[in-house]
Structure 1
Amino acid sequence: MAKIRLGVLGADDSLSVIEQVAKEFAEFSVIPVVYWEESEIPDRIKPYLSEVDAWLCSGQVPYSISQELQLERPIFYTRHSSEGLYQVLLYLSHERGLHISDLSFDTLSPDTMNGLLADLGTDAKLYLKHYTGVIDSEELVQFHQSLWEQGCTKVAVTCLRSAQLKLQQIGIPAMHITPTKSEVRQVLETIPKTCHLLASREAQVAVQLIHRSVKGADVPEQVFDAAIHRYARHLQGTKQQVHTNRWAVYTTRGAIDEITTHFTMRPPFATVTALADDVVCGGMGVGATVREAFDRARLALEQAQIYGPGNWAGALETNTILAPLGDVNGGLALEYGREDLQQLSGEVPLSALTLSKIASVLTKRKSTRITVNELAEYFNILPRSARRILLRLEEHGLATIVGEETTYQRGRPRKIYDICL
């Protein structure tokens, strides 16, 4: 069996840990790609784009940058969890006699840090800069430097190697949290199965993006992560946390068809995970490649979030979004890839997706006429937002007021718009 060519992108010290652990896995042929500044990443990986089967990034920032580059290969990353943090804290406590309140932290999730305080049984003051996605190392340097110069802290603890080096250059003690061997091992164990799944010629790729909603804020991240793992196994797939509060589950079109009855029902998330339905929103995308499926899942998730916690949507290879799934009224089928609506969106200050939703509503109603309140109900938005949409259509000659409803006795009569897309 051919080895998986694994491009490993990271800072020097993190790469060392990953390469050491990767030697335990006969499935991989590792291609290390080191960088010193995050701005170097696009140029660093460019020569290897056709040379690797998958990418493993040494943290959140290189992963987010790689995602923005829309690579055609699956991308994984090692998470900064409590394990690596505890190693650094043990060293600083034992060797330097420092306390939590003497330190400033970045990147780590509030859940991780609050869990640390709970484990230590302390309510010490915490200096933390949390962010999602990409950040400039200079911003982290300024955060740690400001606290150090004010005398609030004695050491900076950062998840960005470039920030550590810059802090040390200006005389500020700094430590870099690198991934632990067990964290690296956990990620490496999922990569072969995912690559095999995505390379199968018979299986159309499916990606689910699961976002923890405000209703799930009280569920500890470790509990949530374990629940997503059970859910992924139920689908015979693999999971990966892609951002704070967001997970990707990689599986096949067949598995999604089965659990949603061909995209007509919500997946049995609560049944499988023992968590409430409303602690998440989910978007499902399918495609010929992981990139296609991931991008469609993102579009589907955006639509699911409009309808609120507990809702799911699906984006098919026909450029159709079904949202929300399992709705008693049948939901909407949005043809977001229509060329005529793409062209129209350049002339009207409304997105092609919004225009597609309007077209879907009219098709569902079998009428081109609608009121503000009716549109608001279909879109799950406030009436004033629906009114703005109709006014923009009217301003561009795509909607005309053709009458008023007379069944409502209180307030102003509801205007009836006739829409022509």
Structure 2
Amino acid sequence: MKMRLGILGADDTLDLILSVVHAYPEIECLPIVYDAEGEIFERLGPHADEADMWLFSGQVPYAMVKEWGRIKKPMAYVPHTGASLYRTLLHLSHEKKLAADELSYDTIPPGELAHMLEEAGIAAGRLWLKSYEGAISADELADYHEALWREGKTKAAVTCLRTAQLELKRRGVPVYRVLPTRAGVESVIGMLLRTHEMLQFKDTQIAVQMIELETPGMTGGEAADPSEGGVLELIEEKLLRYAKQLHGSLKTAGTGRYVIFTTRGILREWTCDFSAAPRPEELAGFADGRFTCGIGIGRTAGEAEIHAGTALLHAKESGPGSWMVFFDDKRIAGPLGKGEQITFSGASDQLRELSRHTSLSVQTLSKLKSILKKRGSAEINAHELAMHMQILPRSARRILIELEAKGIARVSGEESPHPRGRPRKVYRIEL
């Protein structure tokens, strides 16, 4: 099966990448060219879901798209390695008679630049380098290079960004472009092919959906009344049709509880890469009732079923109608489709040790760790914790008080959400 590879890049780099990729018959290309960074989302948007993987011509478009968050498939970019820069410097030294310390550089990590010059036996004084992480604008890079050139500190600029090169040319600054090497492109292509093979294998893993139904005459935790057999029969009929759509099999695991065996790849498509709860037409018509689901992924059917049961317990904690997934690497994610979806680890030596010193489970501590990471802050109040964990505020307060008693949390301040409301304690948590 061919890999459909989306490739987004500036004109010159895109041509180079395509010339390499065309040598791989197992790859089908979806090339997209952009002239300015501001065009990236507009050009990429209509094709976001059309590729199995995405390759970007450099760090900047990759970082921008990653932050954008619309691409759910694996992504990579072609790095500007030392070999790429060495080729440019060789040209400048022999053809233009420019020394390494007469140039300004960007993008290359500082350590890599110094190491490359040392290995090449190039003696350099002070090096002018604009290194950065993530994305950066062409104007910011152009400003950096132009200022050094106009002050007489450099004689030319060496940039890895095509749009910065064009902007510097427009300003009259001598500029040279660092292009990736064919070997660098081939290395990334090889990595993407191996990743694609691994994902295809993972898609064949066993996946189990454990569904617990709350019919119109049932309340949370109650067993179904036998008199509701007609309703349950109708539900089973709909679930059977749903299982067939998943190319799976259905079995009953007790009154009101069902298990569907299918594959990871099929469920990944139905759940938009495990980010949303599927709403198949076969289950429509039960708005008065609810179905809570745990999805388990495993190396064997037995392992997947155990994981599904654990995921179902977490889903029930999040409330009726929730969906959670337990992956084979012990990560737990959910509730699927909810704004406050989190991913946490089901196993951690550090958290197990903390659990032994508190009354809190590893899962609760892992959820808390994931929430703090997602918020980008170690501080949280009970109301916020309750919202993220989908629990009552009083339960959240008990968690925070327990952590405070064990020295894992401390009150760092108070905040008043309303002029007449009670102040809420803000806790700083050190897991």
2:197 & 2:124 partners in 1: Cα distance?
46
Aligned to 2:408, the other structure's residue is in SS state helix
Structure 1 residues 90, 334: closer, same or farther in 2, change over 3 A? same
**Distance verdict in 2 for CA 1:65–1:204, change over 3 Å:** farther
Contact 2:344 2:370 (C-alpha < 8 Å) held by counterparts: no
Q: Distance in 2 between matches of 1:9 and 1:132?
A: 19
- Conserved 8 A contact 1:148-1:155: yes
The alignment partner of 2:24 has SS state of: coil
In 2: Cα distance, 1:172 partner to 1:83 partner:
24
Give the direction of change, closer, same or farther, for the CA distance of 1:24–1:363 in structure 2 (3 Å limit): same
Contact 2:34/2:40 (<8 A) preserved? yes
Look up the equivalent residue of 1:140 and give its one-letter code. L
Q: Report the AA paired with residue 43 of structure 1.
A: E
Q: Does 1:388 align with 2:412?
A: yes
Aligned to 1:77: 77
Deviations 1:245-303 (A, max 9, x none): xxxxxxx9758xx9xxx9xxxxxxxxxxxxxxxxxxxxxxxx98xxx99xxx9xxxxxx
Once the two structures are superposed, what CA deviation does each residue of 1:301-349 show, in whole Å capped at 9, x if it has no partner? xxxxxxxxxxxx95545645249921233462326899xxx9xxxxx97
Would the alpha carbon gap of residues 166 and 317 (structure 1) be closer, same or farther in structure 2, given more than 3 Å must change?
Answer: same
CA contact (8 A) 2:100 2:124 kept: no
Conserved? CA contact 1:336–1:353, under 8 Å? no
Quote the Cα distance in structure 2 between the aligned partners of 1:44 and 1:167. Answer: 24
> In 2, Cα distance between the equivalents of 1:204 and 1:190?
25
1:329 aligns with one of 350, 354, 366: 354
C-alpha distance in 1 between matches for 2:123 and 2:346: 45
1:202 is aligned to 204
Query: In the TM superposition, what are the counterparts of 1:285-300 in structure 2 within 5 Å?
Result: none
CA contact (8 A) 2:7 2:54 kept: yes
How has the CA–CA distance of structure 1 residues 115 and 54 changed in structure 2, closer, same or farther, with 3 Å as cutoff?
same
Q: Secondary structure at the match of 1:151?
A: coil
Question: How many residue pairs end up in the alignment?
Answer: 287
Matches of 2:35 and 2:114, distance apart in 1: 31
Cα deviation, 1:11-67, whole Å, max 9, x if unaligned, reads 111111101111221111112111110110011112322432221100001111111
Q: Kindly tell me: are residues 320 and 128 of structure 1, through their superposed partners in 2, closer, same or farther at Cα, counting changes over 3 Å? A: closer
Give the 3 Å change call, closer, same or farther, for CA 201–164 of structure 1 in structure 2: same
Question: For the Cα contact (< 8 Å) 1:320–1:335, is it kept in 2?
Answer: no
Worse-superposed segment, 51-60 or 323-332: 323-332
- Give the drift of 1:111: 1.9
Q: Distance in 1 between matches of 2:111 and 2:17?
A: 25
Residue number in structure 2 paired with 1:378: 408
CA gap 1:69/1:102 in 2 versus in 1, 3 angstroms: same
Give the Cα separation in 1 of the matches to 2:122 and 2:206.
49
* Cα distance in structure 2, aligned partners of 1:98 and 1:47: 45
1:47 maps to: 46
Structure 1 counterpart of 2:149, one-letter code: W
Q: Distance in 1 between matches of 2:186 and 2:11?
A: 18
Cα distance in 2, alignment partners of residues 98 and 134 from structure 1: 29
Secondary structure of the corresponding residue to residue 80 of structure 1: coil
Q: Match for residue 239 of structure 1?
A: none
1:139-158 correspondence runs (5 A): 139-158=140-159
What is residue 189 of structure 2 aligned with on the other side? 188
State the match for 1:233 in structure 2.
none
Alignment of 1:265-280 (within 5 A): none
CA shift in 2, pair 1:399/1:57, >3 Å: closer
Q: Which residue of 2 aligns with 1:56?
A: 55
CA distance in 1, matches of 2:63, 2:81: 17
Q: CA deviation at 1:69?
A: 2.6
- Check the 8 A contact 1:54/1:75 in 2, yes or no: yes
Cα RMSD (Å): 4.2
Contact in 2 for aligned 1:35/1:44 (Cα 8 Å): yes
Q: 1:314 to 1:20 in 2, by over 3 A?
A: same
> Corresponding residue for 2:97?
97
Q: Describe how 1:17-416 pairs up with structure 2 within 5 A.
A: 17-70=16-69, 71-119=71-119, 120=121, 122-199=123-200, 200-203=202-205, 316-317=333-334, 319=342, 321-322=344-345, 325-327=348-350, 328-330=353-355, 332-334=365-367, 352=384, 369=401, 374=405, 377-379=407-409, 386-389=410-413, 391-392=414-415, 397=422
Larger mean CA deviation between 189-198 and 37-46 belongs to: 189-198
1:275 counterpart residue number: none
Take 1:367 and 1:58, find their aligned partners in 2: how far apart are those partners?
47
Once residues 139 and 21 of structure 2 are traced to their aligned partners in structure 1, the CA distance between those partners, rounded to angstroms, is: 32
Could you tell me the TM-score, scaled by structure 1's length?
A: 0.58
Distance 1:84 1:367 in 2: 54
Structure 1 pair 52–368 and aligned structure 2 pair: CA distance change class (3 A)? closer
Gap change, CA 1:321 and 1:48, over 3 Å in 2: closer
Q: Distance in 2 between matches of 1:69 and 1:113?
A: 30
TM superposition shift of 1:351: 8.7
Deviations 1:112-140 (A, max 9, x none): 11212432363521101111111110000
TM-score calculated relative to the size of structure 2: 0.57
